[in-house]
Amino acid sequence: MLVRDAAYRVGIRVRMERRAEMHDIKIAGALIVDGTGEKERRAEILISDGDIVQITGHPTTEGARRVIEGDGLVACPGFIDLHSHSDFALFAHPAAESKVHQGVTLEVTGNCGMAPYPLSDRHQDDLFEYLGGRSDALPWNWTDLDGYLQSLAEREIAVNTAPLAAHGSLRLAVMGFADREPSSSELQEMRSLLRKDLAAGAFGLSTGLIYAPGVYAGADEISSLAEEVARSGGFYATHIRGETEVLLDAVEEALSVGEASGIPVHISHLKAAGRSMWGKSEEVLQRMESARQAGLDVSGDVYPYRAGSTKLLALLPPRLLEQGVDGLVERLGSDDERRRIQHEIREGSPGWWNPVGAAGGWDAVMVTSVRSPENSRYVGMRVTEIAQSKGCSPLDAACDLLVQERGAVGMIIFMMHEDDIRTFLTGKNVAVGSDGSATAPGPALTHPRSYGTFPRILARYVRKEQLLDLPEAVHRMTGLPAERLGLKGRGFLCEEHAADIVLFSPDEVEDTATYESPHSYPRGIEHVLVNGVSVIDGGHHTGVLPGKVLRRTRK
C-alpha cells in the first residue's frame, strides 16, 4: 500500500510538473485552417521546441513564454512554394524577405532542370557561364548536392528548403551543350550522378525542356533517368517542352514519361501561353484527369499572373547554345544568323515553341535584369522601346543586349489569359507555386510573383472572386504540396508537426507588388513562424534565420 501510495504521489507530481512547464508560444483565439481542406475551426495552438505539441478547441491554462493573440486572424500551415528558383538567391538573400513576408516557410529548389550541382571538371565553366558567371554571393565550395546542402545549411537561412535533382545540370556535367542523344556510357554516367543526388536527399527530378541543354533530350533519355527516381519514391517535375502551339503534345510527353517509368508526374507552372492557345486549359486538365483515371499519379502547380519570366535567351532558338555561351555570342554577332532567327520567329521552326511569335511580338517582352551598369538603363523597358531608342529592329536590340551581357539578361513576357489561370487554379491536384526567387528590395526588377503569389490567391481568388473557399485555397498552398513531396511532419497544422505557421488577416491580406514596382511586401501577413521561431512578427522581419535544409528519406 505504501509503495502504491508513493507511486501515486510521484505520478501526481510528474503531471503537475509537466503542466507547470512553460511552452515557447501559445497562439490564442485564431481561426484554424489546418491544410487538409476541411472546414476552419477555433482552437489554441501550443508550441515547444519547434513543434506543435497541442491543438485544442478549448482555452487552456497552459503557460507560455509568449502568447500571440489571434483574434481576427487565420492560422494555417506555412506556405510551401512547390516551384521556386531560390537555389542561388538564398546565398545572397538568406533572410528570404520576399518569400517569408508572404508566408512562405518552405522553398522547393532545383526546378526547371537547372541547379548549381553537380559540377564536373569538364563542363563546370559552361555551367558558370550559363548561370550568369561566378558571383561573390555563391561560394561554389561544392561539387554535388550533398556539398551544396551543407554549404546552404552553414549559411543559415530564414526558410526551409527541399531540393530536386535537375536534369539539365546532370546533362551539362556529362555532355556540356551537345545537341545529340547521349551514348550508353554517358547515360549511365548521368544515372550515376542522379543516384548520388537522390542518396543526398533529392525529392525528385526536374526537367526544363525549353532550355538548353534539356531541350536536346528525348523522352527515352528522361524516362531512363526517371526510373532511378521511381526506385527512391520521388517524383518527376517538368517544365514541359512547350506551352504554346505544342502545349498538348508536350503534356502528353510528360505523361508518357510517367507511364514508362512508373513515376508520379508533376507539371510545373501550368499555362496556355499565346493567343492561339487561350482556352486550352480545360483540355490540359482533361488529359491529366484521363491519365489519372488510367492509374497515373498526376499533379501540377500554377501562379496567378498573366506574365511569365525567365532568361531573354529563352526567346531564341535553342540551337544557338550548341557550343556554349562563347558560341552563342559569336553566332548572335552574325548578320546571317540574325536573319535566320528572324525567319524562324516569323515562320516558326520545328521543335521550337517560339514564344515571341506566340506572345504577339517583342512589345510583350520587358527586360528585368542585366549584369553590366552601362545597360542598366534598359531595365524596365520593353524590347520595342529599347529598339526605338537605338534606332534598330527589336531583334537586333535583343541580340545586341545578349551579346553585351553574354546571355545574362532577365525578362518578363506577357502571354496568358486570366480565364485560363482561373481554370487551372480549380483543377484537381493543382497546387500553387510562385516560379519566383527569394529576394529583397533593390535596383533590379523582378516578377511580382516573388513578393505576392500567396497573398494574391487569398485576396483575389478567395476573398474577392470567391473562386476558391479558404480551406481549399490553403490546402493547395500547404497540404497538397507536402503530399506531392512525400514530406512528413509539415504542410498541416497537426500535433507533432513542425511549427511552420502563418497568421494573416482574411479581410486585409493583399498583394501589393506590380510589374512596374515589384519590390513591395504584401499587407495582412501578421506573423510567420518557421520551426517554431518568429520570423515575421507584427508584419516585420525579425532577422532570425531558423530555416532547415530538408532531405528526403529514401524508401
pLDDT tens-place values along the chain, 555 residues long: 333 344 434 443 333 344 446 899 999 999 999 999 999 999 999 999 999 999 998 877 788 999 999 999 999 999 999 999 999 999 999 999 999 999 999 999 999 999 999 999 989 888 887 776 667 777 889 999 999 999 999 999 999 999 999 999 999 999 999 999 999 999 999 999 999 999 999 999 999 999 999 999 999 999 999 999 999 999 999 999 999 999 999 999 999 999 999 999 999 999 999 999 999 999 999 999 999 999 999 999 999 999 999 999 989 998 998 888 999 999 999 999 999 999 998 888 887 778 888 888 999 999 999 999 999 999 999 999 999 999 999 999 999 999 999 999 999 999 999 999 999 999 999 999 999 999 999 888 999 999 999 999 999 999 999 999 999 999 999 999 999 999 999 999 999 999 999 999 999 999 999 999 999 999 999 999 999 999 999 999 999 999 999 999 865
Q: Are 451 and 98 in contact (CB under 8 A)?
A: yes
- pLDDT at residue 555 in the model: 57
- pLDDT at residue 19 in the model: 44
Q: Give residues with Cβ within 8 angstroms of 340, minimum separation 6.
A: none
- Model's pTM, two decimal places? 0.92
Q: Report the C-alpha gap between 8 and 105 in whole angstroms.
A: 44
DSSP 8-class letter at 135: -
Q: Report the C-alpha gap between 193 and 144 in whole angstroms.
A: 9
- Reduced to 3 states (helix: H, G, I; strand: E, B; else coil), residue 68 is strand
Q: Start-end ranges of CATH 3.20.20.140 in the chain?
A: 79-304+417-486+493-509+521-541
Nearest to 324 by CA among 119, 114, 176, 134: 176
- pLDDT at residue 80 in the model: 98
Nearest to 91 by CA among 166, 157, 142, 144: 157
- Using the structure block, give the residue that is written with the C-alpha cell 532550355: 211
Q: Are 543 and 115 in contact (CB under 8 A)?
A: no
Q: Report the C-alpha gap between 44 and 504 in whole angstroms.
A: 15
Q: Give residues with Cβ within 8 angstroms of 34, minimum separation 6.
A: 76, 77, 492, 493, 494
Fold classified for 79-304+417-486+493-509+521-541: TIM Barrel (3.20.20)
Q: Are 398 and 267 in contact (CB under 8 A)?
A: no
- DSSP H or E run through 185: helix 184-199
- pLDDT at residue 20 in the model: 45
Q: Are 279 and 421 in contact (CB under 8 A)?
A: no
Instruction: Specify burial of residue 426 (Cβ count, 10 A radius: 0-12, 13-18, 19+).
Output: middle
Residue 326 C-alpha cell reads as 562563347
Q: Which residues make beta-bridge pairs with 206?
A: 166, 237
- pLDDT at residue 14 in the model: 35
Side-chain-facing half-sphere of 416: CA atoms under 13 Å? 23
Q: What helix, strand, coil percent values describe the chain, rounded to 5? A: 40, 20, 40
- Reduced to 3 states (helix: H, G, I; strand: E, B; else coil), residue 98 is helix
Task: Please report, to the nearest 10 degrees, the dihedral formed by the alpha carbons of residues 453, 521, 114, 136 taken in order.
Answer: 180
- pLDDT at residue 132 in the model: 67
